[in-house]
Amino acid sequence: MDLTKYVQQVSRDDFGWDFTHTAHWNNRLQTTGGRFFPKDGHLDFNPKLYAEHGLDVFRKIVRHELCHYHLYFQKKGYKHGDEDFKNLLAKVDGLRYAPPTQSAQKAYRYHYECKVCGQEYWRKRRIDVRKYRCGKCRGKLDIAE
């Protein structure tokens, strides 16, 4: 797949605006789906996410990075916390967070689950379940298998 041409197509189809810079694969990316570089306007993408999750999820990652790209060049709020970014991302149905890769999932040794709402938490270090509660509903946490 020619990545730059694919990103140009997604930009035209989903945003109605042209992508005039380049897009590259970056094998060093671990937990992020992609990166936007305001200095020269190019985009980097994680090839592992494309390989593991397919074209549908990858297209949503491309939309996310294109939101940064287009808003930056329109001199609007292009960062994650900016209202312009959140609105455009919702409008084009982009992913807010990249899904974890298999290599990233293996790094987590401890799996906790809320007894009340079922929210799951993956941690590299042990936590004291007597001290910490669920961030969603304040329920008790338990070690899941």
Reduce the DSSP state of residue 44 to 3 states and report it.
Answer: strand
Is 68 labelled a binding residue?
Answer: yes
**Could you tell me the strand order of the sheet in which 141-143 lies?**
120-123, 110-114, 141-143
To the query of whether residue 145 is one of the catalytic residues in this protein, the response is no
Radius of gyration of the chain (CA): 18
Out of 65, 83, 113, 145, the active site residue is 65
Q: Which residues are catalytic?
A: 65
* Residues in binding site: 64, 68
* Residues in binding site for Zn(2+): 64, 68
